[in-house]
Structure 1
Amino acid sequence: MTNDTSTTTTTKANASYDQSNCKKRESWHSNGDVTGDAGPDPGGDGDTDPNSNDRAKETTALNPKGAHLGGNKERALVVTLTGERRRETWSQKTEFLLAVIGFAVDLGNVWRFPYICYQNGGGAFLIPYCIMLLFGGLPLFYMELALGQFHRCGCLTIWKRICPALKGVGYAICLIDIYMGMYYNTIIGWAVYYLFASFNTELPWTKCDNVWNTDACTPITAMAGYNTSVLNGTTGFINGTVELLGNMTTTLVSSLVGGVELEMVRTSPAKEFFERQVLEQYKSDGLDYMGPVKPSLALCVFGVFVLVYFALWKGVKSAGKAVWVTALAPYVVLLILLARGVTLPGAAEGIRYYLTPEWHKLKNSKVWIDAASQIFFSLGPGFGTLLALSSYNKFNNNCYRDALVTSSINCLTSFLAGFVIFSVLGYMAHVQDKSIEDVGLEGPGLVFIVYPEAIAMMKGSIFWSIIFFLMLITLGLDSTFGGLEAMITALCDEYPRALGRRRELFVLLLLVLIYICALPTMTYGGVYLVNFLNVYGPGLAILFVVFVEAAGVFWFYGVENFSSDIEQMLGKKPSLFWRICWKYISPTFLFCILIFSLLGYEGMLEGEYKYPEWSVAAGWVLTLSSVLCIPLYVIYKFMKSHGSFTSRLRQTFKPEPLIPTVVPGQIYTGTAV
């Protein structure tokens, strides 16, 4: 790196003039794309750049013999300026693409999309799905990638260049990411538990002779031929939220005893393994009494946090290496499982059930709302992750092409997962002599109960179980990497001196804090808290936050200004299609999802377990804790401003001026961390 060094010796009268010149020189910055540049304080409450080598060293020497100069003391001012370290960038373009794909492709692609597809018309559902992708999801996805790349900072610092009053959006995102970290890593911990349980001579959910099994336990093959009905009841995702559904694999077996017809509840070994061995939820009374922490589960989740730490502690340097495994491994396993699944008896019927179009369902508005919700929660705009990941790109990277490629891969992965899931569901229905809807539907119950049941009946079941749960773990890790990196990047950019230059320690303390907060989800009643946090943590709040974010960018900052920023990076303005989507269609898309989610929130936690009334009130407090960051910061910013009401309002919403750089056609907009 080139160092810019100047030494000036002046009299006291000229010292202030030279210092101001030095400050002016420090204000030129190249956005980190070339070396030898110096930059201003990156922002964030007056902190300086944590990685900056800029140091203004002032040495004052008083002449002890100054009397001969008329009694005036001479001061020697030595100012040394060293070049500022540029912001880290991905070592390879592929690493960025894998990180974005890994974040977008998560557990929901496996357990949510296939179910929502067949429920809403099979192959016909792909029409509203693609329309919502084109007009709603993709414009928002593109927006966040472009914002992060242009401003080169996280979801806090970025707002001073867009609309300072909406900085509360960044704080809301950080809170939401914490809530997600509290329960999402616990779900990954369940998969870790299953992975270790798979290293055995026989899968423990194959038979009913284990210590945790009850008299009602019946092997899957023994249930075939009974008059069955499904009591919907494990966990599932609706509008990106987990809900309790009922006992998915519970079977009612009618028998005649003494002339009186009785109904005996039968459960499968896999269901009892999940509920009575992994979770042990029968030892709790729900949220009123969740019981103590289960040590083995806490240890599994701790292992997840350790993996997360070593993936994030060095920033993009460590994360870029981790995604080569966590982003690519799921595709290898999906293809292996697909190759195995299509060869199973009954697989063709399952795939036919998945894809058969029911065109009449397209007249139902719920189908279109489900398509919009699925796209939004699948692509994941608004969590700050896309901003953070793209902020480490080079300034002239083609983020438009990246948005098209990564979003398309995400959607195609969901479609591929449908074949994997329904080929096995068809096999399960064939073995049990049931219809597919009676075998199992969506949610964690699909991947922790139904699919393991199918694996247990395959030859080489231990191998298939190991690779399946490895896939779930890698799918989950990528997403939790992204969510936590969004918060880490935002806080390190906003407080570079306090946090940025101590990133390793900061990440460690943050993960320890989140793990401690997540301990209640590892209790015997933790599954109820997981569902609760998913609904009231990010479920509703993120929709409002993203709507405000879109309004701030498209309406306050302006589509024209945003398009000009993209033109600076890519050399041409976005087409009229994108500008219309950003100004009108995408905000409407978000507003509709928000309204319908609010209207249907009461059904999000319906199921066998009835949540106590106090928990609903507590849930809304949890939701408002992030949402209220936005209006509270607007009030704070307004009160902190000076002058008349109009002047304060202008200061509150007016973006800070952009600073030219040494690179022609570029401006300094963010940090150089």
Structure 2
Amino acid sequence: MGYMPFCRYSSGVGYAICLIDVYMGMYYNTIIGWAVYYLFASFTSTLPWTSCGNSWNTNSCMPVTNENFTEKATTPAKEFFERMVLEQYKSDGLDYMGPIKPTLALCVFGVFILVYFSLWKGVRSAGKVVWVTALAPYVVLFILLIRGVSLPGAMEGIRYYLTPEWHKLKNSKVWIDAASQIFFSLGPGFGTLLALSSYNKFNNNCYRDALITSSINCLTSFLAGFVIFSVLGYMAHVQKTSIDKVGLEGPGLVFIVYPEAIATMSGSVFWSIIFFLMLITLGLDSTFGGLEAMITALCDEYPRAIGRRRELFVLLLLACIYLCALPTMTYGGVFLVNFLNVYGPGLAILFVVFVEAAGVFWFYGVDRFSEDVEQMLGIKPGIFWRICWTYISPVFLLAIFIFSILGYEEMLGEEYQYPEWSIKVGWAVTCSSVLCIPMYIIYKFVFASKGDCRTRYRDAFKVPPQCGSVLPGQQGTTV
């Protein structure tokens, strides 16, 4: 984090990423806590969201298998999530979120305990845990896939999944969703890949690793699509409706539609347990990466103050994030979770990644960067990669960022109308991370540079002399 190699004033990018990781930790661990709640609720003879005869159900509750089911009715799975897990009916949205729900706070606290003991020793502890959290979901995915394709209507769901709708490419939201999916699944911009790769040897084949990592990420998402849409096809078959009327976006797909489908299967308790175990391991794997990136960056930047006291620092950091995340565990916390998802990393990460790409390939220079890669691998990147780095990637990222700014209201969803004051607060949250970049430049320009304005400006974008001459065996900074 001390500096990115292209500019003396680039540490602001690192601080922006750290702040984004904090925002992500505030709501993402809460979502994992929901999965923990479902996991414990699954250890019963009959899943609690199977029927309507529970204390939290309303008169509108009706199983989807009921022939009289209408659009005005609500399913047991939907009411379990909204009225039992979240109890969001006890709040008025962000205007009054209500008190903290103790059971949710306890589930999320358990998540933070797991995260702490996975990160406190650095890669020595996180690396061992990742073997489980990274590989276990694949086992569960294949089990769920085998079960999913055996269900009636599954082929219709898969056919719907594989049938392209080219006209939707004109919709900017599709591109924004695609970019967000890559950012959250692969982790560019969050510092995860940089933090973990900083532990590699100088001559490690980063080109091979980049291709393998990107390919596995995309193939995993492709595989998960079969698992999801086979079940959506089954639900459409059960409800005797079209697939596009079954699916929900965001948490609704994971905590309503899929549990609803599981409840209609034979051996539903078993399928529920392994499904939510998979969600928990996937979630922990993601939160490890983001937090490890921030921790590693700060330990590298302040080796004496933080690096020597890593265990204590990780404890204090996670304690602060947990305290800040407590509002997401209130009865109206689900509205804050969606709010932070959009205004925390959702918008800011697009700008940060654009700055990273532009900074490296426009200011530092694609030729100098290619020479650094050649020094590491012995092979200079081809013209294809250099064109992508120089033109395609930065321009595409900038366009996606502009479209996301213009269409931010669609990202918030239509189920809840956010009050006007919250929109202003949201933009303040977004700006708090984005402004780290120009604010750090101003600080360095005014207080940490010497000479007149022209000299300071020239030094601001001057490449440090040690860049491009890293010796094998040296380990660089992470962000």
Q: 1:441 deviation in Å?
A: 2.9
Distance 1:514 1:671, change over 3 A: same
Q: Give the number of the structure whose residues are more often strand, by fraction.
A: 1
- How is 1:325-344 mapped onto 2 (pairs within 5 angstroms)? 325-344=132-151
Could you tell me how far apart the structure 1 residues matched to 2:365 and 2:346 are?
28
1:173 aligned to which of 10, 14, 17: 17
Q: 1:431 deviation in Å?
A: 1.6
User: Relative contact order: is structure 1 or structure 2 higher (C-alpha 8 Å, sep ≥ 6)?
Assistant: 2
Q: 1:364 deviation in Å?
A: 6.0
Q: 1:353 deviation in Å?
A: 1.6
Could you tell me how far apart the structure 2 residues matched to 1:379 and 1:546 are?
13
Distance 1:660 1:366, change over 3 A: closer
Distance 1:290 1:384, change over 3 A: same
* 1:645 match: 453
Alignment length (residue pairs): 477
* 1:122 match: none
Q: 1:372 deviation in Å?
A: 4.5
Q: Which moved more, 1:433-442 or 1:525-534?
A: 433-442
Are 1:656 and 2:447 counterparts?
no
Could you tell me how far apart the structure 2 residues matched to 1:659 and 1:383 are?
23
* 2:219 match: 412
1:573 aligned to which of 376, 380, 383: 380
Q: Give yes or no for contact 1:568–1:666 (8 Å, CA) kept in 2.
A: no
1:442 aligned to which of 249, 255, 276: 249
| Letter matched to residue 670 of structure 1 | G
Q: Give yes or no for contact 1:658–1:667 (8 Å, CA) kept in 2.
A: no
CA offset digits 1:293-330 (Å, max 9, x no partner): 11100000001101111111111111110011000011
Q: Secondary structure at the match of 1:538?
A: helix
CA offset digits 1:588-624 (Å, max 9, x no partner): 1101100110110122224232111110111111111
**Which ranges in structure 2 are unaligned for 5 or more consecutive residues?**
none
* 1:385 match: 192
Q: 1:168 deviation in Å?
A: 0.7
* 1:87 match: none
Are 1:670 and 2:469 counterparts?
no
Normalising by structure 1, we get a TM-score of: 0.69
Q: Give yes or no for contact 1:660–1:666 (8 Å, CA) kept in 2.
A: no
Q: Give yes or no for contact 2:90–2:332 (8 Å, CA) kept in 1.
A: yes
* 1:498 match: 305
- How is 1:95-134 mapped onto 2 (pairs within 5 angstroms)? none
- How is 1:250-261 mapped onto 2 (pairs within 5 angstroms)? 251-252=71-72
Could you tell me how far apart the structure 2 residues matched to 1:346 and 1:300 are?
35
Distance 1:210 1:569, change over 3 A: same
Are 1:463 and 2:270 counterparts?
yes
Q: Secondary structure at the match of 2:416?
A: coil
* 1:472 match: 279
Q: Give yes or no for contact 2:198–2:476 (8 Å, CA) kept in 1.
A: no
**Which ranges in structure 1 are unaligned for 5 or more consecutive residues?**
1-155, 229-250, 253-265
When the two chains are superposed, the root-mean-square deviation of aligned CA atoms in Å is: 1.9
Could you tell me how far apart the structure 1 residues matched to 2:192 and 2:467 are?
26
Could you tell me how far apart the structure 2 residues matched to 1:364 and 1:292 are?
40
Q: 1:357 deviation in Å?
A: 3.4
| Letter matched to residue 278 of structure 1 | V
Distance 1:275 1:175, change over 3 A: same
- How is 1:324-363 mapped onto 2 (pairs within 5 angstroms)? 324-359=131-166, 361=168
Are 1:158 and 2:3 counterparts?
yes
Q: 1:422 deviation in Å?
A: 1.2
Distance 1:669 1:329, change over 3 A: closer
| Letter matched to residue 139 of structure 2 | V
Are 1:211 and 2:17 counterparts?
no
Distance 1:669 1:316, change over 3 A: closer
Are 1:303 and 2:148 counterparts?
no
Q: 1:225 deviation in Å?
A: 5.6
Q: 1:419 deviation in Å?
A: 0.9
Q: 1:567 deviation in Å?
A: 1.0
Q: Give yes or no for contact 1:225–1:432 (8 Å, CA) kept in 2.
A: no
Could you tell me how far apart the structure 1 residues matched to 2:473 and 2:449 are?
26
Distance 1:551 1:286, change over 3 A: same
- How is 1:36-435 mapped onto 2 (pairs within 5 angstroms)? 156-159=1-4, 161-222=5-66, 224=67, 226=69, 228=70, 251-252=71-72, 266-359=73-166, 361=168, 367=174, 370-435=177-242
Q: 1:668 deviation in Å?
A: 4.9
| Letter matched to residue 90 of structure 2 | K
Q: Give yes or no for contact 1:173–1:626 (8 Å, CA) kept in 2.
A: yes
* 1:16 match: none
Distance 1:369 1:321, change over 3 A: closer
Q: Secondary structure at the match of 1:328?
A: helix
Q: Secondary structure at the match of 2:372?
A: helix
* 1:143 match: none
Are 1:538 and 2:345 counterparts?
yes
Q: Secondary structure at the match of 2:9?
A: helix
Q: 1:476 deviation in Å?
A: 0.6
Could you tell me how far apart the structure 1 residues matched to 2:467 and 2:90 are?
61
Could you tell me how far apart the structure 1 residues matched to 2:414 and 2:176 are?
22
Q: Secondary structure at the match of 2:10?
A: helix
Q: Give the number of the structure whose residues are more often helix, by fraction.
A: 2
- The structure with the larger Rg is 1
Distance 1:487 1:371, change over 3 A: closer
Q: Give yes or no for contact 1:658–1:668 (8 Å, CA) kept in 2.
A: no
- How is 1:537-616 mapped onto 2 (pairs within 5 angstroms)? 537-616=344-423
| Letter matched to residue 10 of structure 2 | L
Q: Give yes or no for contact 1:347–1:424 (8 Å, CA) kept in 2.
A: yes
| Letter matched to residue 598 of structure 1 | I
| Letter matched to residue 521 of structure 1 | T
Q: Give yes or no for contact 2:86–2:332 (8 Å, CA) kept in 1.
A: yes
Q: 1:519 deviation in Å?
A: 0.3
* 1:114 match: none
Could you tell me how far apart the structure 2 residues matched to 1:613 and 1:360 are?
33
